[in-house]
A and B are shown apart, each in its own frame.
Chain A
Amino acid sequence: MSVMVDDPSVRTPLVLGGHTFASVSDAVCAPVEQKAPKWWVASFAVALSLLALLLAMLSKLVWTGVGVWGLNNPVMWGWDLVGFVFWVGIGHAGTLISAILFLFRQKWRTSINRFAEAMTIFAVMCAGIYIAFHVGRVWVAYYLFPIPNSMAMWVNFRSPLMWDVFAVSTYFTISLLFWYVGLIPDLATLRDRAVTKTRKIWYGIFAMGWRGANRHWQHYERAYLILAALSTPLVLSVHSIVSFDFAVSQLPGWHTTIFPPYFVAGAIFSGFAMVVTLMIIARKLFKLESFMTMHHLETMNKIILATGTMVGYAYAMEFFIAWYSGNPYESFAFVNRAFGPYAWAYWTMISCNVIFPQLFWFKKIRRSIPAMFVISIIVNIGMWFERFVITATSLHRDFLPSSWFYYSPTWVEVCQFIGSFGLFLTFFLLFLKYLPMIAISEVKAIMPEADPHHHGGDHV
Chain B
Amino acid sequence: MSSEDKVSMYVFPKWVNRLPIYFLLGGGALFVGIIFVFWYWFSPKHLEVGYMPTQPIPYSHRLHVSELGLDCRYCHTNVETAAHANIPTTETCMNCHSQIKVDSPHIKKIKQSLDTGVPIQWVKVHKLPDYVYFNHSRHINAGISCVSCHGRVDQMEVVHQAKPLSMSWCLECHRAPENHLRPAAYVFKLDWKSPNQKEMGMRIKEAHSIRPGEDCSTCHR
B194 at the interface (CB under 8 A from A): no
Q: Give A173 to B8 CA distance when docked, in angstroms.
A: 34
Query: Which residues from 51 to 96 on chain B have a C-beta closer than 8 Å to any C-beta of chain A?
Result: none
B7 at the interface (CB under 8 A from A): yes
Are B167 and A196 in contact, with the CB atoms below 8 A? no
B: interface residue count bin = 10 to 19
A400 at the interface (CB under 8 A from B): no
Are A200 and B168 in contact, with the CB atoms below 8 A? no
Given contacts A153-B167, A194-B8, A201-B10, list 12 more A-B pairs with CB under 8 A.
A150-B45, A150-B164, A150-B166, A151-B168, A152-B168, A152-B171, A195-B4, A195-B7, A196-B7, A197-B10, A200-B7, A200-B10
Contacts of B22 in A (CB 8 A): none
Are B166 and A151 in contact, with the CB atoms below 8 A? yes
Per-residue contact bits, chain A 178-216, to B (CB 8 Å; 1 contact, 0 not): 000000000000000011110011001000010000000
Are B166 and A197 in contact, with the CB atoms below 8 A? no
Partner of A195 from the list B8, B39, B169 (CB cut-off 8 Å) is: B8
Q: Give A342 to B51 CA distance when docked, in angstroms.
A: 59
Contacts of A200 in B (CB 8 A): 7-8, 10
Which residue numbers of B lie inside 8 Å of A, CB to CB? 4, 7-8, 10, 12, 17, 39, 43-45, 164, 166-169, 171
Name the residue on B nearest A201 (C-beta): B10
Partner of A150 from the list B12, B17, B43 (CB cut-off 8 Å) is: B43
Contacts of B43 in A (CB 8 A): 150
Contacts of A197 in B (CB 8 A): 7, 10
A: interface residue count bin = 10 to 19
Name the residue on B nearest A147 (C-beta): B38
Per-residue contact bits, chain A 135-155, to B (CB 8 Å; 1 contact, 0 not): 000000000000011111100
Q: Give A153 to B170 CA distance when docked, in angstroms.
A: 12
Which residue numbers of A lie inside 8 Å of B, CB to CB? 148-153, 194-197, 200-201, 204, 209
Contacts of A153 in B (CB 8 A): 167
Q: Give A152 to B43 CA distance when docked, in angstroms.
A: 12
Interface of B is mostly: helix
Q: Give A329 to B43 CA distance when docked, in angstroms.
A: 50
Q: Give A153 to B12 CA distance when docked, in angstroms.
A: 49
Name the residue on A nearest B167 (C-beta): A151
Name the residue on A nearest B47 (C-beta): A150
Contacts of A209 in B (CB 8 A): 12, 17
Contacts of B4 in A (CB 8 A): 195
Q: Give A269 to B76 CA distance when docked, in angstroms.
A: 71
Residue among A149, A195, A201 with the most chain B CB within 10 A?
A149
Min Cβ gap A194→B in Å is 7
Partner of A204 from the list B12, B166, B171 (CB cut-off 8 Å) is: B12
Min Cβ gap A143→B in Å is 13
Min Cβ gap A227→B in Å is 21
Q: Give A195 to B12 CA distance when docked, in angstroms.
A: 15
Are B12 and A152 in contact, with the CB atoms below 8 A? no
Contacts of A195 in B (CB 8 A): 4, 7-8
Q: Give A153 to B164 CA distance when docked, in angstroms.
A: 16
Min Cβ gap A26→B in Å is 15
Q: Give A196 to B4 CA distance when docked, in angstroms.
A: 8
Between A and B, 12 residue pairs with Cβ closer than 8 Å are A150-B44, A150-B45, A150-B167, A151-B167, A152-B167, A152-B171, A196-B7, A197-B10, A200-B7, A200-B10, A201-B10, A209-B17
Name the residue on B nearest A200 (C-beta): B10
Min Cβ gap B131→A in Å is 12
Q: Give A195 to B2 CA distance when docked, in angstroms.
A: 12
Name the residue on B nearest A150 (C-beta): B166
Contacts of B39 in A (CB 8 A): 148
Min Cβ gap B102→A in Å is 46
Contacts of A152 in B (CB 8 A): 167-168, 171
Partner of B168 from the list A150, A194, A196, A204 (CB cut-off 8 Å) is: A150
Residue among A152, A195, A197, A209 with the most chain B CB within 10 A?
A152
